[in-house]
Every structure is written in C-alpha cells, then in structure tokens.
Amino acid sequence: MSSFATLPLNYPKAIRKLDETVVSRINAGEVIHRPVNVVKELIENSLDANATAIEVTVKDGGMKSIVIQDNGCGIRKEDLEIVCERFTTSKLQVFEDLLEMQTYGFRGEALAAISHISYPKSNVVPMAANDGTVITVENLFYNLVMRKNALNSYSHEYNLILELLTKYAVNNSNKAAFSLKKFGDNCDLNTNIENKSIENIRGLYGANIANNLSELSFEDSNRLKFSMTGFTSNQNIHQKSFVFILFINNRLVECSSLKKAIDLVYSNYLLKSCHPFVYLDIKIDPKNVDVNVHPTKNEVHFLHEQEICEKVVQIIESKLTDGRETRRLNTEPNPLINASFSQISMASVDESPKRNTNEKCVQMNRKSPKVSHTETTPKRPHKQIRTDSKDRKIDEYLLNAKKMNKSRRDLKLNSVSSLRQKVSEESDSRLQEMICNSSYVGCADETFVLFQFETQLLLVNAYNLNIELFYQLFLVDFGNFAKIRFRKPLLISDLVKPYIEELNKSIDSDTQSSQTLDVTQIETILMGKSEMLSDYFSLDISADRQLISLPIILEGFIPNFAFLPQFLYSLAKDVNWDKEKECFESIGKVLANFYAKPPNKFNSNLDHQKWAKVVESVIYPKYKQLLCPPKRLSDNSTFFVTTRLSDLYKVFERC
C-alpha cells in the first residue's frame, strides 16, 4: 500500500515540478483542439513567410495526415534542429516587440504543440525541392485518445478546414493563392492570386451572395485610429446561416458581441430564417491591440473596443438604410390608402383559425365569424393568397411568459354583465371576421401595425384597437387581476403635480379652478375609493398616499409609465363614482386608455424590436382570440388598405 494512504486527510500534499513532457502535452492540448487548428497555425506561418501559393492536402479529415506546402522564404538549415522546440520564434526578441506585432505567429508554440500530439520526424536530410516549406503532420492525437474520440466525423473535420481556408482566401485576395483537397482527390478549393475579394466571394460563396453585397470603406485617423473595408449583404439576401468573417490586423478572430449586434440590426431588415453575409477587414494601430489573450489566438482585445464595434454597426446599418427604399412602406396619403373600410373585400376563406375557448373562465358572447367554403372555380392568380410553409414575417420573436396561478372569484354583478352584453351587441361581425382570418406581417412604428387579410395588406392603428382590447380584457377579468408591484411606492403628489402644472399652462386662468383638480383633491378622491380600487382592480394605495401596485390586464404586457400621471389624474376626474355601472365603465375606459398608450418614440432598432415582439407575441394573439371590434372602428380611420394583390399584378403587367 502506498505511504500516502496512512496520511490524514488534511495533511498537505507535496508540490512537484511537472516533467517537461507532461507540460508540453498539456500545452499542446490548449493550442491544438482539432485538425483545423493545425491547419490554421501552419498556413499563418506560410503567410508570415510571404508565401503567394499555399497548398493543403488532408487525409481522413486531417486525423491521418495533413500536408501544407508553400513557396515562402522557408526555414534556415541551422534552425531546423530547434524549430519544433517551445518558444522558438523569429517574430520577436523582447516583450516590447508585442506592441508592434503585425505577424500571425509570435510565441513559437505552434510547431512544438503539434509535434507533441503527432508522430515526430526528427531526421534532417538534404533533398531536391522547390523553394518554400513542406510540413507533414501525421496521426494527430495518437497519444490523446480521449481528445481523438471526442472529435466528429472525418467529413465534419474536413468541412471545418474548408471553411477556414475559404475565409483566408477571401481576406488574402491579391496576396496569396490557396488550394485544398483530400488525399487522392481533386481540389475542393482553388483560388487565383490575381482575384479580387469580390471575385473570390463569388467563386467560394456563390453568385447569389456576391450579387447582393455592398462594399464598405471607412477610416478614422483621429481618436479611434482604425480603418475598415469589407462587404455586407443587402435586404435581398436569402441564406439559412449567418456568415460572419472578421479579420483584425489580418488575424481571423471571433467577436460574439459584434456578431450579435450586427445580427440584431439585420433582423429588422430580413425575413424570418434569412441571415446576412458580412466580411470585415479591420485595421487598428498595433499599439492598441493585445494579441496575446487566447491560446489559439482566436480572440484579441483592443483599445476603444466598444466604441469601434458601435461605429462598425452604425456603418452597416447606414448601408442597409440607403438601400431600403425599394422595401419601404409608402404611408403618404393617396386614394388607395384613404379608401373607406367598405372597400375592403370580405371574401370567404377556407378555414377559420382555431381558438382556445377554455383559456378564460368568463368571456363575452363573442359572435363567431362567418366561414363559407368556396366553390370549385378556376383559380385566378391575382385572387390567390400566398402563404409560406414557414409562416415568414418581418420579425421573429418568442415570448417566455409565466402564467399566474391565481384562483378566480366569480363576481356576479349585474352592472358588469350589462357592460359585457353591451360590448357584444356593438361588435361588428365583418371586422371580427377580418381580424380572426388575418395574418400578422410586422410593426410599422409606435402606433401602426401591418396585417394581411385575403389579398390585401392593411395598415392598422393599433392604439385605437388596443383601447377596445384592454377595455374588454378589463371586463373579462373584472375583480381577478394580478398585480404589478413597484419596488418603491410612488407618492401620488409627486406624480400628478408636474402634470397639473403643465395642464394649467394650457388652460385660461379664469377657468382653471372649475376645470382642473389640485393635488389635494386627487389624493382625497383616490384615498376615499382605495378599498374598492384594491379589491376590484388590484390598484393599491397606502395610507400615506403612495401608489403601491397596478393591475396586470394582459399577461406579458407592461404599460408605458410615462403616462402614469395622466392616468391618476383621469382616474380622479373622469370617473363617475356615484352609480355602480357608470363607475365601472368609466374606470375601465380610463384604464384601457392608459394601457393602450403607445411606447415612447423609438431611439434605436432595439426599441423597435422590443415593441414589435410584444405586439406579435402578446397583443396580436388576443386580437384574434377575444376582441369584439365595435362598428365605430370601421369609421374612425383605424384600418387602411395599403395595397391589393390585384393592384400589384396590374403594375407588374404594365412592366
């Protein structure tokens, strides 16, 4: 038995210096993860040697053999004995050389790491050959069985190598020619040194991408001290994955934050499941770049990183904006847009959407939309509705909402039942049918959204629609609201005082006393009704006149709190507190008007995206499931017909 077995558990173990072989193998595991890392290190050495032709041949995905041949300056004979030792390099001599580093390699670890996880060949013999270097790596990971078994198939590893060489070929256009092939096969990649970047992109990624690219060029020689060239795709691109090629000072690196930011910008311009192509070649003052931060050199850090990334995103977005005219919605007044609602055709559809009737315990008597089956008639192209199997829209969003498991109270109030019946009686079956059978297209701005109904594209005033929706949700969940609790209660006086001051400025001084309430009056009214407001509407007010909570009328939706002062003022002034039915009706309308307020003006695409996500995932499903649209919505400019498929056919037929 080992002597260590008799030692107590808390006895300190001896610290030993690792054997040099163990150290080298650990280091090799950090630098070389898979065959593509070997290829990357070796082709970068070739580029550092000023090679203009680099040939790569692999066998079994690089596991059996990797051969890289170049026509660079080669290696001196006297350096061959130490070329595979750790920290042997021709790139630097002192640490300060890193401040001016412009080569790919500098640490002298690549060949050493490779030699410790593949069969070494130490014989140095003279032979006839072309100028340059030929390096052969065989039986990769022969002594790291777990690493070898964790790799994917040979074809997958080969595809990673192909992807790597493709990116380097694009970035080194007019500098070096690249070729790649499997052992015994024809070349899968073969570029010409005379090709320009766009020509290599066309040959390697296809004409569809090359024909839809915009060239980038920017330079800031003042504070940020960087320049950028490259290509970005426009809105007409259609590819399944995001191709992002980023070179910083000729190094192929990754920057997840920049990639996410660019992807977010494109999400506002591309259809669902479509992704962009972005190639960026960024040059930064070497003194501002730290290249020694990652074992495989896949990442670099640089000065003003956030500002440079924001500038890059801004430049890309400006290119997209410049080319957006062909896809922009024209909302200027014209006879087509100003068509009355009666011009919207109510053609029959094949099937009405399915709705979950058990989601709410209490619902108004919503009229079922009429659905009739079309007869078998010859189909006309301009009468057909095009739908995509993937249900493509302008944006792609997902809501992860948590449902409240709150037990419901069955409040049998005649006044509430009467208000529900009134909503049902005022509903317009034509509007209801149109909304139920519509498809969400996108969010135009803070107020308007786009629906498709039949062959028509509708511009809808969501604010008008939301007032009706929130009022009806108020009646459906009357007395059963969950609560939005403020982390810190809000003084009512602090909220309404600035609003009253602004309101008084717009009213003549002679009529202020009769038309407006002061802070004390508002506090007195709300405090006097606080018990009812809390019990029925989950609107809690503390004894020290602080607002504690608001009701959740629609799960997953938070109102615009910028209108909270106006809401409190209207709640005190515009509610008829004397009669039960009128009281509940006016409270519901004040709440609905507050919750329906649009968001503040978008300051960025991120604001637009967040609001569009709420509209598509939270509000629009409730339109289809619950809304009983009143007849007045057909007369108050809530719905506009922007275009019809038949009209588009006429335009294109003339072309």
pLDDT tens per residue across span 335-361: 333 333 333 333 333 333 333 434 444
Give the pLDDT score at 120.
Answer: 53
pLDDT tens per residue, range 144-180: 777 778 787 889 999 999 999 999 999 999 999 999 9
Please give the CATH topology (third level) of the domain spanning 20-191. Heat Shock Protein 90 (3.30.565)
- What DSSP line would sit under 571-602, residue for residue? HHHS---SSHHHHHHHHHHHHHHHHTPPPPPP
Please give the Cα distance from 359 to 407 (Å, whole number): 14
> Whole-angstrom Cα distance, residue 15 to residue 337?
81
**What does the pLDDT average to over 562-578?**
91
Separation of CA 410 from chain center? 42
Half-sphere exposure of 172 (CA within 13 A, CB side): 27
Distance CA 235, CA 496 (A): 46
Tokens of 167: 């990116």
Identify the helix (H) or strand (E) that includes residue 469: helix 462-476
Nearest partner of 86 among 118, 114, 65, judged by Cα: 114
Average pLDDT over residues 553-572: 91
| Whether the predicted pLDDT of 11 surpasses 60 | yes
Q: For 14-48, how does the pLDDT look when each residue is reduced to its tens digit (9 = 90+)? A: 666 656 665 555 554 455 778 888 898 889 888 88
d(CA 60, CA 12): 47
pLDDT digits (tens, 9 = 90+) for 458-497: 888 999 999 999 999 999 889 889 988 888 889 999 999 9
385-399 average pLDDT score: 40
Predicted confidence band at 379 (pLDDT cuts at 50, 70, 90)? very low
Tell me the per-residue pLDDT of 300-322, one tens digit each, with 9 for 90 and over: 777 888 888 889 999 998 888 77
pLDDT tens for each residue of 226-237: 999 999 998 877
Within the chain, all domains assigned CATH 3.30.230.10 are found at: 197-321
Residue 536 scores a pLDDT above 60: yes
Q: How far is CA 101 from CA 47, 71, 151, in A?
A: 14, 23, 33
CATH 3.30.565.10 location in the chain: 20-191
**Three-class SS of residue 427?**
strand
User: How many Cα atoms within 13 Å fall on the side-chain side of residue 531?
Assistant: 1
∠ at Cα 289 (285, 293), nearest 5°?
165
Residue 593 has pLDDT above 50, yes or no: yes
In this model, does residue 399 exceed pLDDT 60? no
CATH code for residues 197-321 = 3.30.230.10
Q: In 3D, which of 94, 87, 91, 95 has the Cα closest to residue 106? A: 91
SS3 246: strand
Mean pLDDT over residues 63-70, rounded? 90
* Residue 45 DSSP SS3: helix
Q: What are phi and psi of 208, to 5 degrees?
A: -60, -40
**Residue 209 CB-half CA count within 13 A:** 24
pTM for the predicted model, two decimal places: 0.48
88-127: per-residue pLDDT in tens? 666 555 555 555 555 665 445 666 667 767 765 555 566 6
What percent of the chain has pLDDT above 90?
27
Average confidence (pLDDT) over 211-229: 89
Residue 303's pLDDT is what? Answer: 82
pLDDT per residue as tens digits for the range 274-296: 889 999 999 988 888 876 565 55
pLDDT interval class at 84 (50, 70, 90): low
Does residue 595 carry a pLDDT above 60?
yes
The answer to whether residue 386 scores a pLDDT higher than 60 is: no
The SS3 assignment for 151 reads coil
Question: Is residue 618 predicted with pLDDT exceeding 60?
Answer: yes
